[in-house]
Amino acid sequence: MGDDGGFFAIALIPYVKFPTAVHNLGNGAYEGGLGIPYAFDVPGWDVGFQTTVACDHDNFGNGYHADIANSVSIGHAVIGPLEYHVEFFSDLSTEQNSGWVGTFDTWFTYQVNKNLIFDSGVYIGVTAAADDWHPWVGMTWRY
């Protein structure tokens, strides 16, 4: 809703993970969830939020647990198609003995055209359960 215009946009992104990895990669379990991204049209700014609720396999044992993630992000154009973004990300697992993961994330995006974006950044852990830092590069292609 609202993807191509309007003040507000929201989507539902259901997903299922099938255990197709080989050679002891992955956890060998079916998992799934629902992502709900939403954004507001603030002139000159990208303002976005996302909530994801997942059913994940336990790291130890054969059970499943709920996992709830939330993020708040803000972006602004720097020069032409180059943008800078910051985000706070929070992940809370209901699995026993798991900690709250909180990260401060920062990245740049470069929009080549309407359907292609390159990006690169770093996630910086702000809680004990989060990785200290996680650099990354990526590409988004809308088809």
CB distance 74 to 45 below 8 Å: yes
Percentage of the chain exceeding pLDDT 90: 80
- Predicted pLDDT at 41: 86
Q: Please answer whether residues 50 and 38 qualify as being in contact, where contact means their C-beta atoms are separated by less than 8 angstroms.
A: yes
Whether 1 shows a pLDDT value over 80: the answer reads no
pTM (predicted TM-score): 0.84
In Å, how far are 1, 15, 64, 143 from 57, measured between CA atoms? 31, 15, 4, 31
What pLDDT sits at residue 118?
98
CB atoms within 10 A of CB 141: 8
Average per-residue pLDDT for the chain: 94
Q: How many helices (H) and strands (E) does the chain have?
A: 0, 9
DSSP 143: -
In 3-state terms, what secondary structure has residue 126?
A: coil
- For residues 4-9, give the mean pLDDT: 80
Return d(Cα 74, Cα 1) in angstroms, integer.
20
Is residue 101 within 8 Å of residue 126, measured between CB atoms? no
Tokens 């993961």: give the residue.
101
Residues composing the chain: 143
Q: What is the pLDDT of residues 20-61, one digit of tens each?
A: 988 888 888 999 999 999 998 899 899 999 999 999 999 888
| pLDDT tens readout for residues 52-85 | 999 999 988 889 999 999 999 999 999 999 999 9
